[in-house]
Structure 1
Amino acid sequence: MPLLFLISMLCNYSSARFLSCRKLSKISSISSVVVDSLLPSSISKKTHFSSLRISSSSSSPLFCIFPCLYFSKISALHFCRPNSTMASQSAQSIHDFTVKDARGNDVGFSTYKGKVLLIVNVASKCGLTNSNYTELSQLYGKYKNQGFEILAFPCNQFGEEEPGTNEEILETACTRFKAEYPIFDKIDVNGDNAAPVYKFLKSSKGGLFGDSITWNFAKFLVDRDGHVVDRYAPTTSPLSIEKDIKKLLGVS
């Protein structure tokens, strides 16, 4: 026990030399988008890291002297945090949900039984908008007649990059980007007001440090039985997961 304590003290002392109070207080987040860009694609595609945010308490003397304690605190909070599954515990598959489309119509997901689904939270004013909408339309054009469907959910939670009305969102998606797949009502994907369907998606395929969506254009791949089989980071391009879609469709 004394040896382990000594090692821990040395680690904290070494860390403190490189992380001053001033520098540590300036750290705002460790984003999953950055992590995904650094990891090999075989790992980043499968793994999701929710943002780890450092509060103002990071400038307290204790955490400045022992920075390892702070990051241990963060890890404990995320590992102990329960998944947001209360509203969707009874759901057995994506087909159990009913949502509203962008025109206010109820859409039962049971209509998608037997289809492979790619579910995406979209935004009109994001740096990822052009590439994602363009590639999503390309995928849909290739596989829509083979049992493939894309379901797009506008969300304004990330940088307020989907501020428009449903009519404006439809104009962007369907007129500018020629989207022929369904566009649904604007929703929240994180927090207490997250749509039940997204609580289900996240609890079905969470990440290492939590289940939160980190940015626009996160993607969930769902099989013909309505089960979530994979989750992709916002920075993962739609065309790069074409092989996974083809596998579920059973096409070569």
Structure 2
Amino acid sequence: MNSATGSNDPRDYLVPQGFEAYTDTDHATWRTLATRQREILKGRIADQFLEGLDRLGIGETGIPDFRVMNERLRAATGWEVVAVPGLIPDLAFFRLLADRKFPAGFWIRKPEQIDYIEEPDVFHDVFGHVPLIMQPVYADYLEAYGKAGLVAAEHGALKRLARLYWYTVEFGLAQTPQGLRIVGAGIASSPSETVFSLDSASPNRIGFDLARVMRTLYRIDDFQETYFVLDGIDAWPSLDLDRLIPLWKELEGQEDIKPGDLQPEDRILTKGDGSYHRAKPKSAA
């Protein structure tokens, strides 16, 4: 989720993608990232994600032209990708999602940043996030999330929504008949976390529970200590405000849960051994 400060009117942040301004180096960087990531994702990502890549033409030829991509996206789910210069304030972000517009950075990392950048670029935002928006259930979830975010701001519950976004949209896993699969964009755009999230013995993997997720701090500087697992590819949580508002009030009196801690009521799919994070400094939000 975004965390910049400034105007809450999303129109103040919309810019042209500037597709014609991309250089050969920019497109080559995309090809390197996309080719590598597509190979690593085989057998690890939800099939619907790969289907979305193909249907949208998000491939290995270069940075996608938002104008072309949006024609296909609008036809499928009524969504479109809009270019923004970087992180935008939470309320502007929520308003865009509520209007079925996904904000994406238009710039791409430098070749020397191929493995890691601090701020999301067009590869993370488009390759990681957009393919699943071709799925109606997920598209509806993102819209409901945006609408819930606007209400959360009035109830002092923005941190609850940030955690939900983090553990579903960015770092979610899901059960499938073939086993655990990735559905989160933060994993799907990271070669190292793609492997870590499914293969490492270090993290916990816990059955998704909305209240539990909204109480749980997360790692902003490293791999996650806990991943929450949806019961299915289409099992995105209902964000009915009649349910959320009482839940936020209930959670006000409960302590936050550290990223790696387990709770007695958890549905533990994998109890992590913590081997990766044990010697690491802690930084949680």
Question: TM-score, length-normalised on structure 1?
Answer: 0.25
The structure with the larger Rg is 1
Of structures 1 and 2, the one with the larger relative CO (CA 8 A, separation 6+) is 1
Q: Give the alignment's TM-score, normalised by structure 2.
A: 0.23
